Homo-oligomer: A and B are copies of this chain.
Amino acid sequence: MSGNGEETLGTIDRAATISEVAALAGVSPGTASKALNGRGALRPETRRRVQEAAEQLGFVANAAARSLQAGRTYTVGMITTDSIGRFSIPLLIGAEDALGAGQVSVFLCDARDDPIREQYYLRTLLGRQVDGIIVTGRRTQARPPIGRSLPVPVVYAFISSTDPADCSVVPDEADGARRAIEHLLAIGRRRIAHVTGPEHHHSATVRASAAMQAISSAGLEPAAPVLFGEWSEAWGRQAAGILLSTEAEVDAVFCGSDQIARGLAEALQESGRPVPNDIALVGFDNWDVMVDGCRPALTSIDMDLEGIGRTAAELLLAAINGDPAHGRRALPGRLIPRASTAVHPA
C-alpha cells in the first residue's frame, strides 16, 4: 500500500492558508484578507504584494471557514425525488446555469423515490447549511412538502408542492396541449384523436382534458375517445391499429409523448396512411432522439425544462436574498413544427 507518508505523485498535501499568504507578503492576516477581497483602505503596493503571494502559493480561501463566519455557504441542494433521468438533466442544467453565474454550487441528491432517502438527504443538506433547496422529480403531480418549518427556502421545479404557500415552477401542460390542437386546426385538420399515457398519470389526464377542451372550443368533436395506455412506442403502434380499425376518419393525432407519436408514425406508414398528408402527428416533450429519429421528423411540444430549472433557481436565489415567492408558476411551452405537420393549410 502506498499513502504511508511518501510523496504522492504530483500531489501537495495541504492548501495554503491566508496566514501563510500574509506571512509571505509580510503583512497581517487581516490585511491579507482585505487585500484579497478588495475591502478596506490599502496601499496599492501592499495589495499587489499580497495578491502575488497568494498566486505564488496557489491560495484559495477555505469556504468552510468563510461560511462559518458569514452564515452563508453559497451552496444549494438539489433533490430529485425519483431518479436522475431524462427530465432532470435539462432542469439541472438550467438551475446550474442560473446558480453557477451567482457563484453558487450545487449539491446533487438522488432520492430514488424513497422517502427515507429523501429525508436523509434533507438532513444532510441542512447539516451542510445549504442556503436553499430545489426539489425536482419526474412527475408534474403535486407532492406533499418535503419538510415543515425548514430554516431555508425551498423551490419545487417541474413537480409542485401541495402546499399553496410553497413556491413551485411547473410546465403549463394544458397550454402545451392547446398549442398542439391549435396547430393541427391551423393546418386544416378537423378529425383529431388523442393518444397518451396511463390514465392514472397526472400529465396524461391534464394534457388530455386540455386537448379535448381545445377541440370543443373550436366547435368540433374529437375523432375518437382519448386512448390511454403507456408511455411507449409499442403503445403508439398498438393505438394506431385501434384508430385505423374504427370507422373514425382521423386526419390528425396529438400524442401525449414523442415516443407514442413515433410508434404511431411507424405503424401508420406501414398501413399505408402517410404522415402528414393523410394523418398529421404532434408529439410532446420535444425529445431530440425521438423527434429526429421519427420519420417524418416529429412536430412536438417543448416544455422548456431548462427554463423551468433556471426560473426555479432564480426564485430560490431571490428567496435566499430575503424576497421569497409563493405559489405555482406555470411556464408556457413552445410548439416546434417539423415535417409531421408540414402541409399547406386547407
Contacts and interface: CB of A to CB of B under 8 A. Distances in A.
Interface of A: 1-4, 8-15, 60-65, 67-68, 73, 75, 83-85, 89, 92-93, 96, 100, 103, 105-110, 123-124, 126-129, 148-153, 165, 232-234, 259, 262-263, 289-290, 292-293, 319, 321-324, 326
B60 A9 contact: no
Contact of A1 (B110, B150, B232, B323): B323
B93 A83 contact: yes
A64 B3 CA distance: 26
A11 B151 contact: yes
A153 B13 CA distance: 10
Contacts of A149: 10-12
Contacts of A263: 293
B84 A89 contact: yes
Contacts of A323: 1-3
B324 A151 contact: no
A322 B290 CA distance: 46
Contacts of A123: 60
A14 B65 contact: no
A276 B324 CA distance: 59
28 contacts: A1-B323, A2-B323, A2-B324, A3-B323, A9-B326, A11-B149, A11-B151, A11-B324, A12-B150, A15-B129, A61-B127, A63-B64, A63-B129, A64-B73, A64-B129, A75-B128, A83-B93, A84-B89, A85-B89, A92-B108, A96-B109, A105-B107, A105-B128, A106-B107, A107-B107, A232-B293, A234-B292, A262-B293
Counting from the closest, the 9 A-B pairs by CB-CB distance are: A3-B322, A60-B127, A108-B108, A63-B128, A64-B64, A233-B293, A64-B68, A64-B67, A9-B165
Contacts of A2: 322-324
Contacts of A65: 64, 68
A100 B3 CA distance: 24
A264 to B, nearest CB: 13
Nearest to A65: B68
A207 to B, nearest CB: 20
Contact of A110 (B61, B93, B153): B93
B84 A151 contact: no
Nearest to A106: B108
B63 A259 contact: no
Contact of A14 (B75, B83, B151): B151
